[in-house]
Amino acid sequence: MEHPTRPACGTTARFGSRSPDAERDSARHAQRLPDAARTRAHGAGPRRESRLGWRRYAQRVESHPWRYLAAGLAATLALSVPLFSIQLGHIGDGADPVSFTDRRAFDLMSSAFGPGSNGPLTVVVDQSGVPAGERPALAARTRRALDRLPGTAAVTPVRPTRDGSVLTATVVPATVPQDAATTHLTDRLKDGVLPGAVAGTGAHGYVTGPTAVQVDFLDMVADRLPVIIAVVVGLAFLIVLAVFRGVLLALKAAVLNLVSIAASYGVLVAVFQWGWGSPALGVHDTVPIESFVPMAMFAIVFGLSMDYEVFLLSRVHEAWLRTGNARGSVAHALETTARVITCAAIVMTSVFAAFIVSPMVVVKMLGLGLAVSVLIDATLIRLVLVPATMTLLGGWNWWLPGWLDRRLPRISADMR
């Protein structure tokens, strides 16, 4: 392993230093300015105070990186804990405001026929390949299998179609469509009950209906989401590696992006599944996490977080190439970019938070998730964990094996 060295093009100039000629020109120009203009030229006022505030903060992070790293990790890990109990599902009409007609119809159906009547499951058995003499026995087997199924409120008789090629029945769950028990019942029907009932007969069993379609979509999302996250994070790792030429730097960017999205998912679970603070948002019942929300959040927030990451790393890289001072480069970049990142995050958080006032629970969930994601990424990640981690790594941020350096394409982040 090669030890990272100071870049060949680096100098020992301090940040912000200027030549004597430039200083004299600036002084002569300031003398010709009115007092108000001279004040602006020297950066006084709120902007200078803000810059000084971020400078002091950057110096504190540089002086106590372990303290900030521990605090940032503790906060993000605490926010991530609810993620381990996440329940993906579909938010049904029962979660809508009582003023909505679909909610009133849902409540009437539940009170008259039971909660599962809003999401019945249609069982279909294709027996076209079964001899006519064996079809009555198959219908009886299917009926017995459905009758013994726990978690059901009612099962209609198994009836053949007019041509006798298909058997149909309706299974009414004992729970509402968005309940986890209804999802488990649907999976048991598809994966265990029906295959067992038609085994050895040449027939095939299926489950359909709105609830079954939602469960299939949920299963597809649950299977694909880890793959999507792995592919996107892996590509981001390669891009950061090619642009900034640092293995540990790219690995840090990938890991902290995963930490950021995990904390955001945890907040959603705590609010909507656990009910922490949900009445304040106008949600009076606990609901599962809508199946497409985590994927949409990841796609949007990952792009925004990488914008912040590249912006911050570009300033660090420029200072590192100019000075060769690893720790000072991080502090300088944090000082110069923190104000811009914070302002951009405030704008995006405000835009996403505006969706929380929607009466639709799914819209509230997506708006809160995106707003919290941007807030966590711009504060705990970009302003705490990234500078603390890079300060501790020092010159190792820019370590790159020679053989890998020769094989990687050279991509510049300089937009000038």
> Quick one: average pLDDT of 313-330?
88
Residue 327 has a pLDDT of 85
Tens digits of per-residue pLDDT, 107-118? 999 999 999 999
Range name among 37-51, 117-131, 334-348 with the lowest pLDDT average: 37-51
Tens digits of per-residue pLDDT, 242-286? 988 899 999 999 999 899 999 999 999 999 999 998 888 888 888
Contact, 344 vs 312, CB < 8 A?
no
Residues forming CATH 3.30.70.330 domain(s) in the chain: 121-208
Return the CATH architecture of domain 47-85+215-407.
Up-down Bundle (1.20)
Q: Is the pLDDT of residue 240 over 80?
A: yes
Residues forming CATH 1.20.1640.10 domain(s) in the chain: 47-85+215-407
Nearest to 305 by CA among 370, 245, 351: 370
- Mean pLDDT is highest, among 97-101, 150-154, 301-305, for 150-154
Contact, 299 vs 309, CB < 8 A?
no
Identify the three-state secondary structure at position 276. coil
Q: Is the pLDDT of residue 20 over 70?
A: no
Residue 50 has a pLDDT of 58
> Quick one: average pLDDT of 211-234?
90
Nearest to 328 by CA among 52, 5, 12: 12
Q: Is the pLDDT of residue 58 over 80?
A: yes
Rounded Cα gap, residues 380 and 135, in angstroms = 64
pTM of the shown model: 0.79
Rounded Cα gap, residues 205 and 202, in angstroms = 10
Environment class of 352 (CB within 10 Å of its CB; exposed 0-12, middle 13-18, buried 19+): buried
Q: 167 forms bridges with which residues in the sheet?
A: 125, 160
Q: Give one DSSP letter per residue of 1-26, joined into a string.
A: -PPP---TT---PPTT---HHHHHHH
Rounded Cα gap, residues 177 and 397, in angstroms = 50
Q: In CATH, which of 2.60.120.200, 3.40.50.10680, 3.30.930.10, 3.30.70.330 is domain 121-208?
A: 3.30.70.330
Tens digits of per-residue pLDDT, 149-208? 899 999 999 999 999 899 999 999 999 998 889 999 999 999 999 999 999 888 999 999
For residue 380, CA distances in Å to 35, 73, 101, 305, 373 come to: 40, 8, 42, 12, 10
For residue 61, CA distances in Å to 120, 332, 387, 388 come to: 58, 11, 7, 6
Confidence of residue 126 (pLDDT cuts 50, 70, 90): very high
The chain-wide mean pLDDT, for the chain, equals 85
